[in-house]
Structure 1
Amino acid sequence: MSQATTATNNDKSSDSAREQLLIVCPGRGTYNQAEWGTLTRNAANATWLSRFDARRRDAGLPTLSELDADIPFRANLHGRGEHASPLIYACALADLQAIDSERYEIAAITGNSMGWYIALAAGGALGHDDAFELIAAMGKLMQDTLAGGQVLYPWVDEQWRPQWAQRREMLTLIERIHGEDGAELYLSIDLGGMLVFGGNETGLARLMAALPPRERFPMRLHQHAAFHTPMQRAVRDVARQRLPLAPFATPKVPLIDGRGHIWTPWSTDPEALWDYTLGEQLVAPFDFTTALRVAVREFAPDRIVILGPGTSLGGATAQVLIQQGWRGLDSKATFQARQEADPLLLSMGIEEQRCMLVPSKYSTKVGL
């Protein structure tokens, strides 16, 4: 793993010149047609990718390299949990390893939804191969069960400024719809200026009918189950039986979970980390907004880096920063102006921004 991923806040004496980064790991839905080929481009010669491919080949599955380069992108194939989840993890891992450890130090790591599993690997709480097994297993479990679905809807205005009354009205819909004639509806993810709802078909249909049309919203998310809701109890119970405690370890870098709790290198109980990851995290709302708010307040990063693939998490991250007034940000316009002058938020799915983080001497041949 890159040296940057093993640095801690205790090593400031020799690292004071390095910029402090907050790493944000992506979740499901970030590998799409536009991202096809990303893994081959960034990690074709990585030895860890060869190991991942061998494991999938032994399991009778198409390898990640084949999915990314040889098999033309098809949403109903590449979007399946057993393929999408490890593809996203591998792309994020390639980006993480490419960060220039001589210029940057990773101060903390968080992620959105499935990004929590990636954060465990990025922070050293799971080894690369152990994280691959966890992510592959959870992706398949979710796909096999596919209990319920998700709907996404924004509550900020066109300038990404919060509209708190609208947010309250949206949350009230959950109370109104849930439990009526078999409808199930829950808050799934608090995602910046958007809410992700999870529920069964009856609950989601009633929600979509109640929400006023707004451009492409309400948006039903393709091949997504009702993640982070009580509808995942069966997945939780199976996961806890199949996935042992042993691989979990104390992280080397602070991790911020979906409640805003910080898991530090000096205080983490690996058993408690396992219990949260395969317990509450699966059946309770994932609060990405709170996780990011805690991260910027507690670790004061110089920049925030979103690992690839894709760039879809950039808007939600910026919306949280605007809600917090971080570095004077108060609207989409001020955020865009700051990005033009000296970007605070770097998405590695955007090539120009990735180049700011990667040393010119870097080669994907240097993979662990």
Structure 2
Amino acid sequence: MSQTPERLLIVCPGRGTYTQAEWGSLTRYAGDADWLARFDAQRREAGLPTLSQLDAELPFRSRLHGRGEHAAPLIYACALADLLAIDRERYEIVAITGNSMGWYIALAAGAALGQEAAFELIGTMGQMMQERLAGGQLLYPWVDEQWRPRWDKRRELLALIERLHGEQGAELYLSIELGGMLVFGGNEVGLSRLAEALPPLERFPLRLHQHAAFHTPLQREVRDAARQRLPATPFRAPEVPLIDGRGHIWTPWSSDPVALWDYTLGDQLVTPYDFTAALRVGLREFAPDRVVIPGPGTSLGGATAQALIQLGWQGLDSKTAFQARQAEDPVLIGMGIEAQRRRVVG
């Protein structure tokens, strides 16, 4: 008698997850894949270095590999390699979400876009963001050392950006609700003033280099240009439920493809992305056994764990409790960690 497949919630990674440590991972896991050859051909025709070249031939340089037109497609390809490797006999993917750019990957993972259509979307958006590079992002935590919520601290941080916004030309907005951290977006004046006002805390405040002010009104120009350049035609209802940056569920039986396009190239670009809400909905509505983050990298793991602790999922109430559970029987699988990747691949 066959065993009932475990239920997985997939969390797709966003920008900043392909670093020097991940250089070579795409070649290792998908070097001979037909889809990678097609992606490479498209980039070659566009006069861009291929993903295979970036991952294996061109030595890693953050100024090159971190550019939007290279970083975004690399991250998508690495995540796609991991998603295709998951053993579908032992695991059932019950819902898919992502962080920021991870929403575009989620569209492909849930078949709301075909592989090539998602590649075009991701490459185009990465290039447009890089060319305009309107504003930037800054990251700051609001949880304690055990990753437990400090709601008063969160309120203070939101009040701070509200106070600084508009002073001496400063523009500041909440960009992403990222587990136990807040990502702020703004112009250079605003980010500089915010960095001066925030108490130094280990490596924070952390400026995210080569990141525009994603999910803020500063991206209106990118939004308008993207809607002109990228049609709704390739969009379709997903085959697996998708959870967007508001916590809204797009189901296979009730999703309007045009509305999905409208959100992706509309509100998603200029309003805050609530990654924590997306996780909350995924956990409560779909009751997964485990949460899986495809690669590249492991940087999204901490924020996801912090969100799980906030939600008290499976009794997790601290960093210590989370680490003990991970050592015993991981509920959060980061495919960027080889030992954890082996647990879910076919």
Using the size of structure 1 for normalisation, the TM-score is 0.93
Instruction: State whether structure 2 residue 128 is matched by structure 1 residue 141.
Output: yes
Structure 1 residues 317-332: aligned runs within 5 Å: 317-332=304-319
Gaps of 5+ in 1: 1-13, 360-368
Looking at structure 2, the residues matched to 188 and 63 of structure 1 have their Cα atoms a distance apart, in angstroms, of 31
Aligned match of 1:174: 161
Looking at structure 2, the residues matched to 239 and 112 of structure 1 have their Cα atoms a distance apart, in angstroms, of 20
- The 3 A distance-change label for structure 1 pair 296 and 40 is same
Looking at structure 2, the residues matched to 133 and 204 of structure 1 have their Cα atoms a distance apart, in angstroms, of 31
C-alpha distance after superposition, 1:182-234 (max 9, x if no partner): 10000000000000000000000110011000000000001000000000000
Shift of 1:181: 1.2
Aligned match of 2:223: 236
Shift of 1:15: 8.8
1:181 is paired with a residue whose SS is helix
Contact 1:123 1:252 in 2 (8 A): yes
Match of 1:348 among 317, 335, 342: 335
Aligned match of 1:8: none
Looking at structure 1, the residues matched to 2 and 223 of structure 2 have their Cα atoms a distance apart, in angstroms, of 41
Aligned match of 2:104: 117
Contact 1:15 1:105 in 2 (8 A): no
Shift of 1:149: 0.3
2:246 is paired with a residue whose SS is coil
2:240 is paired with a residue whose SS is coil
Aligned match of 1:257: 244
Instruction: State whether structure 2 residue 144 is matched by structure 1 residue 157.
Output: yes
Shift of 1:16: 7.2
Looking at structure 2, the residues matched to 185 and 263 of structure 1 have their Cα atoms a distance apart, in angstroms, of 30
2:191 is paired with a residue whose SS is helix
Looking at structure 2, the residues matched to 355 and 222 of structure 1 have their Cα atoms a distance apart, in angstroms, of 32
Q: Which amino acid aligns with 2:118?
A: A
Looking at structure 2, the residues matched to 272 and 99 of structure 1 have their Cα atoms a distance apart, in angstroms, of 30
Instruction: State whether structure 2 residue 187 is matched by structure 1 residue 200.
Output: yes
Looking at structure 2, the residues matched to 160 and 15 of structure 1 have their Cα atoms a distance apart, in angstroms, of 39
Q: Which amino acid aligns with 2:64?
A: L
Aligned match of 1:20: 7
Q: Which amino acid aligns with 1:286?
A: Y
Q: Which amino acid aligns with 2:202?
A: E
Aligned match of 1:3: none
Identity among equivalent positions (%) equals 76
Structure 1 segments, 4+ long, off by >3 Å, are none
Contact 1:248 1:270 in 2 (8 A): yes
Q: Which amino acid aligns with 2:211?
A: H
User: What is the RMSD of the two structures over their aligned residues, measured on CA atoms?
Assistant: 0.9
Q: Which amino acid aligns with 2:173?
A: Y
Aligned length: 346
Contact 1:260 1:294 in 2 (8 A): yes
Aligned match of 1:312: 299
C-alpha distance after superposition, 1:117-138 (max 9, x if no partner): 0000000000000000000000
- The 3 A distance-change label for structure 1 pair 100 and 164 is same
Looking at structure 2, the residues matched to 54 and 175 of structure 1 have their Cα atoms a distance apart, in angstroms, of 47
Q: Which amino acid aligns with 1:167?
A: R
Aligned match of 1:91: 78
Aligned match of 2:255: 268
C-alpha distance after superposition, 1:95-127 (max 9, x if no partner): 000000110010000000000000000000000
- The 3 A distance-change label for structure 1 pair 15 and 128 is farther
- The 3 A distance-change label for structure 1 pair 180 and 80 is same
1:203 is paired with a residue whose SS is helix
2:168 is paired with a residue whose SS is coil
Match of 1:187 among 174, 192, 206: 174
Match of 1:100 among 87, 99, 105: 87
Aligned match of 1:76: 63
Looking at structure 2, the residues matched to 335 and 352 of structure 1 have their Cα atoms a distance apart, in angstroms, of 17
Instruction: State whether structure 2 residue 199 is matched by structure 1 residue 212.
Output: yes
1:337 is paired with a residue whose SS is helix
2:219 is paired with a residue whose SS is helix
